[in-house]
């Protein structure tokens, strides 16, 4: 019932916005729009790899592809934001969209702190108004809002919603309802650490060794540091090929010796573990069967099947519970699933072993 009311309200809002838009088109002075995107300037940020993912996103964004909502998922620091912005920039250059909105989902919660009545929709609309940059036009606030709302219906729009996991479940539902009300030419890419079920999705994995070497050489270009193959290999294992970890390691190298940097990763003693790995582990550390599964898998160095994991965790008589647990941990990007086998993310494994949580 709630969905029907919401859909109906969105429909009415769309009609009203369309009418106001048409009225605004009949203005004596046409409205000038100078900016069609609000992507953060990242051109100075070095970007490597992800060719396969970029090509999959290009296919998804093609007007001939009927799917409208896609997702990019992966553990914190794997490069979801970087990929979204890279693809967004590409769309700006190719002019494949008229209107490109980048919306960091944490803005929703931020705006809620300031003004209780602000919701996701308000944030998206105010971002659109800001992006459309009406300053050359003498428009009232309600005209601006109508124009911004109508833009979603009149223009070919790309909406990049970054970090959906940083919002509450009710905000996520509000967003999904809004997205479902948008016309079919609108494309939406959502990024989240925790996987959600969408018609099209990409799971981001570690950089390959070659991509990692490219990134590290770039990061160390301004210093005199030269990594031997052996050290480079060691650092790759310890950072798990996670781009954020690689950048952190290279910035630590500006202050610390290589031995100390390697130790900081071996002992999970740096901000990456504090801010990315620890919070998600804490969510599960006292929850059965997750605690048992995490501990068991931390001691496995190779991919293992569900029955093998169940057996090692002493849960062979409750395979269904194990399956539920593995599915959820995979959705959280703590595990990798390859065919029917699972493996703990190397940084998560390192963290659990160094802290020996139970």
Ligand X SMILES: Nc1ncnc2c1ncn2[C@@H]1O[C@H](COP(=O)(O)OP(=O)(O)OP(=O)(O)O)[C@@H](O)[C@H]1O
350 binds, among ligand X, Mg ion, none (CB under 5 to 8 A by kind): none
Residue written as tokens 């003498």? 138
Pick between residue 151 and residue 172 the one whose CB is nearest to ligand X.
172
Pick between residue 151 and residue 250 the one whose CB is nearest to ligand X.
250
243 binds, among Mg ion, ligand X, none (CB under 5 to 8 A by kind): ligand X
Pick between residue 80 and residue 195 the one whose CB is nearest to Mg ion.
80
Q: Cα(90)–Cα(88) distance, rounded to whole angstroms? A: 5
Residues with Cβ within 8 Å of 308's Cβ and at least 6 positions away in sequence, in order, are none
Pick between residue 76 and residue 346 the one whose CB is nearest to ligand X.
76
Pick between residue 147 and residue 284 the one whose CB is nearest to ligand X.
284
187 binds, among Mg ion, ligand X, none (CB under 5 to 8 A by kind): none
Q: Would you tell me which residues interact with Mg ion (CB under 5 A)? A: 80-81
Pick between residue 71 and residue 74 the one whose CB is nearest to ligand X.
74
What's the CA angle centered on 254, arms 236 and 218, to 5 degrees? Answer: 55
Least distance from ligand X to the Cβ atom of residue 84, Å = 8
Least distance from Mg ion to the Cβ atom of residue 232, Å = 26
3-state helix, strand, coil in the chain (%, to 5): 55, 10, 35
Least distance from ligand X to the Cβ atom of residue 250, Å = 10
213 binds, among ligand X, Mg ion, none (CB under 5 to 8 A by kind): none
Q: Cα(146)–Cα(177) distance, rounded to whole angstroms? A: 19
Nearest 5°: phi and psi at 265? Answer: -80, -40
Which residue pairs, CB below 8 angstroms and at least 24 apart, start in 27-31? 29/137, 31/134, 31/137, 31/139, 31/147
Pick between residue 81 and residue 89 the one whose CB is nearest to Mg ion.
81
Q: How far apart are the first and last CA of the chain?
A: 45
45 binds, among ligand X, Mg ion, none (CB under 5 to 8 A by kind): ligand X
Tokens of 335: 């595990």
Burial class (CB in 10 A: 0-12, 13-18, 19+), 345: buried
Q: Would you tell me which residues interact with ligand X (CB under 6 A)? A: 45-50, 74, 76-82, 163, 193, 215, 243-244, 247
**Within 13 Å, how many C-alpha atoms sit on residue 50's CB side?**
26
Least distance from ligand X to the Cβ atom of residue 273, Å = 13
247 binds, among ligand X, Mg ion, none (CB under 5 to 8 A by kind): ligand X
Least distance from ligand X to the Cβ atom of residue 82, Å = 3
**Within 13 Å, how many C-alpha atoms sit on residue 91's CB side?**
34
Least distance from Mg ion to the Cβ atom of residue 73, Å = 11
Q: Looking at beta carbons, which residue is closest to ligand X?
A: 79
250 binds, among Mg ion, ligand X, none (CB under 5 to 8 A by kind): none
Pick between residue 36 and residue 207 the one whose CB is nearest to ligand X.
207
Residues with Cβ within 8 Å of 189's Cβ and at least 6 positions away in sequence, in order, are 57, 60, 70, 71, 72, 84, 87, 158, 159, 160, 161
160 binds, among Mg ion, ligand X, none (CB under 5 to 8 A by kind): none
Least distance from ligand X to the Cβ atom of residue 99, Å = 23
Task: Report the C-alpha dihedral over residues 343, 345, 350, 353, rounded to 10 degrees.
Answer: -40
Least distance from ligand X to the Cβ atom of residue 275, Å = 8
């Amino acid at each position: 019932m709630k969905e029907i009311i919401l859909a109906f309200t969105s429909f009415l809002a769309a009609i009203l916005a369309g009418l106001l838009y048409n009225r605004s088109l009949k203005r004596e002075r046409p409205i000038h729009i100078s900016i069609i995107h609000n992507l953060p300037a990242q051109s100075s940020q070095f970007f490597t790899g992800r060719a396969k993912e970029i090509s999959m996103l290009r296919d998804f964004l093609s007007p001939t592809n009927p799917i409208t909502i896609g997702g990019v998922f992966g553990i914190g620091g794997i490069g979801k934001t970087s990929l979204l912005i890279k693809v967004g920039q590409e769309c700006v250059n190719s002019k494949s969209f008229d209107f490109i909105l980048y919306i960091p989902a944490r803005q929703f919660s931020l705006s809620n702190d300031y003004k209780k009545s602000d919701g996701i929709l308000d944030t998206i609309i105010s971002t659109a108004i800001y992006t459309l940059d009406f300053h050359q036009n003498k428009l009232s606030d309600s005209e601006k809002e109508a124009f911004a709302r109508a833009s979603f219906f009149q223009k070919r729009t790309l909406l990049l919603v970054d970090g959906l996991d940083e919002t509450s479940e009710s905000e996520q539902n509000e967003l999904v309802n809004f997205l479902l009300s948008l016309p079919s030419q609108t494309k939406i890419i959502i990024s989240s650490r925790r996987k959600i079920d969408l018609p099209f999705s990409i799971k981001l994995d570690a950089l390959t060794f070659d991509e990692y070497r490219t990134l590290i050489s770039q990061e160390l270009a301004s210093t005199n540091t030269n990594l031997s193959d052996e050290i480079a290999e060691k650092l790759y294992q310890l950072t798990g090929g996670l781009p954020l970890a690689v950048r952190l390691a290279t910035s630590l190298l500006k202050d610390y010796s290589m031995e100390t940097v390697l130790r900081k990763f071996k002992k999970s003693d740096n901000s990456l573990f504090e801010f990315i790995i620890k919070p998600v582990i804490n969510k599960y550390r006292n929850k059965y069967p997750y605690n048992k599964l995490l501990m068991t898998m931390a001691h496995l160095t190779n991919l293992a099947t569900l029955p093998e994991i169940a057996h090692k965790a002493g849960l062979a008589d409750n395979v269904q519970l194990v399956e539920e647990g593995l599915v959820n941990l995979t959705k959280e990007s703590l595990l990798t699933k390859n065919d029917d086998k699972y493996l703990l993310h190397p940084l998560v494994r390192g963290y659990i072993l160094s802290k020996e949580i139970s």
